[in-house]
Amino acid sequence: MATQLGLTEDQKTEVEKFRADVVEPSMSRLVILDFWAEWCGPCKQLTPLLEKVAADYADKGVVLKKVNVDEDKFIASQFQVKSIPTVYAMFQGKPVADLTPARTEGQLTQMLDQILGQLPIQGEAQQQEAEIGPHIEMGEKVLADGDHERALSIFGQLLEMAPADPRVISGFVRTLVGMGRIDEAREMLCQIPDAVASDPTIVRAQAALELAGDSAMAAEDLAPLEAKVATDPDDLQARLGLANALIASGDRDAAADHLFAIIEADREWNEGAARDRLLKLFEVVGLEDPWVSQQRRRLSAILFG
Residues designated as active site: 40, 43
Contact predicate 248/284, CB 8 Å = no
Residue whose C-alpha is closest to residue 248's, from 288, 204, 284:
284
Q: What sign for the dihedral angle of Cα 213, 215, 221, 224?
A: positive
Q: How far is CA 289 from CA 206, 226, 292, 293, 299, in A?
A: 18, 28, 5, 7, 15
Residue whose C-alpha is closest to residue 119's, from 146, 152, 150, 94:
94
